[in-house]
Structure 1
Amino acid sequence: MIKWGIIAPGTIANAFAKEVKNTKDGILTAVYGRNNDKTKEFAKKHNIENYYSDIDEFFKDENIDAVYIATPHNYHMQYAKKCIEAKKHILCEKPFSYNYKTSEEVLNLARKSNIFIMEALWTLFLPAVNQAKKWIEEDKIGKVKLVTANFGFNSNEDINSRLYNPCLAGGALLDVGIYPILFSDFMIGSFPKKIKADAEFTNTKVDESDIINLKYENGVLASLTCSISADTDNTAIIYGEKGKIVIPKFWSAKESYLYFEDRKEEFIDSYKEAGYKYEIEEANRCIKNKALESTIASHNITLELAKIMDEIRNQIGLIYPFE
C-alpha cells in the first residue's frame, strides 16, 4: 500500500481523503495543518492515525510514502521542496506553482532526488473526458476545427479569500482558467503557437474574468473563458467537420455526448464520487513502479501549462507581490 500524508486539511483535501479509500493501493496515514484542533478534527473524520501541527514532525513520520499538497498556490513550491528533502513522493494541487521558473526548479529537483512528482491534473484521468478523446481518435467528428470551454462561478470579493488575495496568487486564471487551457491542449493533442488574452481586474488587483484565444499548429482554434465573478454554463464543446462533442462540467466530467451524422452517443460514468480516485490510482501505480513522472500528467504538460499561463499573465498585466 502507498501510505499518504496530506498537507493543508481544507475543502479540496476533504475530497481527496474521501477517495483515497476507494483506491486499491492507497491508504491515509497522516495529516498536517497549522491549526491543531482543525487538523485533529480532519484526522478523526477520515480515520487518519497521525495528525500534526508541526511540519517538521510531519516530515519525520516514516509511515508516509507520499504527500498530497493542498495549500494555496503560492505555498506549493516550498512544501514540495520540503517533501523532496524528506524523500516523500508528491501529488501537488494545480496549478503546480505560480510560474514556469519555479515549476521547472521543483521538477528538476525532484528528478535529481529520484522523487515521483505529479501535478493534480485530475481532469486528464476522468473516463468521460477520455471517452471524448477516444471519439476524436476514432474520427467520429472528423478533423477538429474549434474548441470552446468556460469555467466560472460567482463569489464575493473578499481580500481575506485566497481567490481575491494577490499575496496568495489569487485570481481566475490560476484557480479555474488552468482547466479550459488543459482541456483544450489535451483534446487537440498539442500546445498553442499563438496566445491572445484579456482580463477584467478586481479591486484587490487580481484577475476577475479572463478571455483566452489560442491557435494551434494544425489550425485548430480555441476560445476559452474563466471567471470568479460570474456563473457560466461550465461546458466544453469540441467542434469537428462531421460533428461535435459536448461535455457538461468538463473539468469534473461525469458524462460526454457525441453528435454526428444525425446520431447521438453518450457516455455516463457510474462512479459516484467526484473522481479524484483516478489520479490517485495513477500516482499509486507510478510510485509502486518507481516511475518519476506520469506519462499522462507528465512534467512536460505541467511546464507547458505554466508557460501558457505566464504568457497570459504577461498580456493581462498580472504580477503577484512576491514575484
Structure 2
Amino acid sequence: MIEKKNYNWAVLGCGVIANEFAEAMKKHNNKIYAIGNRTHEKAVAYGKKYDVEKVYDDYKDIFEDDEVDIIYITTPHNTHIQFLREALSRGKHVLCEKSITLNSDELEEAITLANDKNVILAEAMTLYHMPLYKKLDEIVNGGDLGDVNVITINFGSYKEYDMNNRFFNRNLAGGAMLDIGVYALSFARWFLKSNPKKIVSQVKYASTKVDEQATILMMNEEQQMVSIAISLHSKQPKRGMISCDKGYVEIMEYPRAMQAVITYTETGEKEIVQIGDMQDALWYEIEDMEKAVAEKAVTDKAAMDKAVTDKEVTEKAVVGKSITDKESYMHLDYTKDVMEVMTHIRKDWGMNYPEEIS
C-alpha cells in the first residue's frame, strides 16, 4: 500500500483554472505551498485569497525552491514548453494544463527531459480522471456492448469576435484545436483500441489566421471511426457518443461528466451510469497526480534497494521506471497520441504559431 504524503504544490499562473485548483484544494482541506505569476500583484492577491504559504517576488523562483514537489502550470499554451524545461530540468514533477505543448516535437523534448530527471510529467486532462470514465472503461471493455465501431463528438463554444482575447489570438496560441479540440480527441482516444492513422479534416479560419472551426474524420487500424465537430463561434452541446455492436453510450458535458446513458440496441432499454461529482473534477486530477508521484517514489526505492542488495548499481536501477510506466494514473501515452493527431492536422492545414516558425 502506498503511504499518502502531503506534497508541496506550487502553482504557476493566476487565471481561472488556477483559482479552480485552489478551490479544489481548499474544499479538501489541502493548502497550496506557493504561487508564482508574471504579474506579482496578482500573485499576492491570489496568495491572500487562498492562504498560500509562499508568494515569489520573481515567479521564476518557483523552479529553484527545494521545498516544491509538484508544479501546476496554468499559463497560455505557447508558454508551456519554456516552463516545462525550467521545471523538469530542476527535478520537479509537473502537472501542465492542456494543451500540454504546441506540438509533438515540444512534447517529446519534455518527455525526454522528464525521463532524464526521473520525474512525473502529465497533462491536466480532466476527463481521464473523472470516475465516470474509469467506470465506462470497465463497461465498454467488459464485452456486453460488443466492439466500439464509431465515436461521434461535438464541442462548440460561442465566443464574441474579440480578436485580442486568447481564443482568437495567434500570439497566445489561440484556436479551436488546442483549446477545445484537445478535449474531443482525448475523449476519442479513451475509447479507441489504437491511435488513428487515417485522418482528414476541414478548417475555417478566424481573421487572425487561427482555426475558428473544424471537422475531423479519423480511422485506426482496427477500423474504428471517429467524427468530430468543434467551433469557437457556434454553440454546440458538449456531446460524445460511443456506438458499439449491441448498444451506444451518450455522454453530455463530457469533459467533466458524471453521467452516461447506455441504450441497448435489441431492446431499446436505457441504463443510466452515474458516478463522481463534476465539482471535484480538479481534485480527481490532484489525487491521481499524487498517486503517480507516490508510486514512483516507492518504485525508485525498491529499485535502489535491489541494486544495493545485488551490489550492482546500474543506470536503469538508479533511474527506476520511466514516467511512461505511470499511464495507469496520468495517461501520458494518450497525451502523446492526441498531440500526434493535433500536430498532424495542423501540418495538413499549413497552420502554425510564431514559436513554430524557424
TM bucket (normalised to shorter chain) is: over 0.9
Name the structure 2 match of 1:305: 338
The aligned runs of 1:131-210 (5 Å cut-off) are 131-210=135-214
Equivalent residue for 1:234? 238
Q: Which amino acid aligns with 2:18?
A: A
What is the CA-CA distance between 1:269 and the residue it aligns to?
A: 2.9
Partner residue of 1:18? 23
Shift in alpha-carbon separation, 1:316–1:272, aligned structure 2, 3 A: closer
Q: Does 1:287 align with 2:319?
A: no
CA contact (8 A) 1:35 1:53 kept: no
Q: Which has the higher contact order (CA 8 A, sep 6+)?
A: 1
Q: TM-score, normalised by structure 1?
A: 0.94
Cα distance 1:283–1:238, how it changes in 2: closer, same or farther (>3 A)? Answer: same
Q: What does 1:107-118 align with in structure 2 at a 5 Å threshold? A: 107-118=111-122
In 1, the alpha carbon distance for the partners of 2:32 and 2:80 equals 20
Distance 1:22 1:269, change over 3 A: farther
> Aligned in 2, Cα 1:146/1:272: closer, same or farther, shift over 3 Å?
closer
Q: What are the equivalent positions in structure 2 for 1:36-185 lying under 5 Å apart? A: 36-185=40-189
- 3-state DSSP of counterpart to 1:148: strand
* Structure 2 counterpart of 1:268, from 246, 271, 274: 274
Amino acid paired to 2:129: F
Give the structure with higher Rg (CA). Answer: 2
Which amino acid in the other structure matches residue 316 of structure 1?
A: W
User: Compared with structure 1, are the counterparts of its residues 27 and 285 closer, same or farther at alpha carbon in structure 2 (3 Å cutoff)?
Assistant: farther
Instruction: Using the TM superposition, name which of 237-246 and 55-64 deviates more.
Output: 55-64
CA RMSD of the aligned region, Å? Answer: 1.7
| TM-score relative to the length of structure 2 | 0.86
Q: Give the structure with the higher percent helix.
A: 2
Q: Hey, what's the Cα distance between the residues in 1 that align with 2:206 and 2:54?
A: 40
The size of the alignment, in residue pairs, is 322
Structure 1: tracts of 5 or more residues without a match: none
Q: 2:348 aligns with which of 305, 315, 323?
A: 315
- Structure 1 residues 71, 266: closer, same or farther in 2, change over 3 A? same
Checking the alignment, whether the CA contact within 8 Å between 2:31 and 2:52 is kept in structure 1 is no
Q: What's the counterpart of residue 303 of structure 2? A: none
- 2:311 maps to none
Q: Is the 8 A contact 1:107 1:299 kept in 2?
A: no
- 1:259 maps to which residue? 263
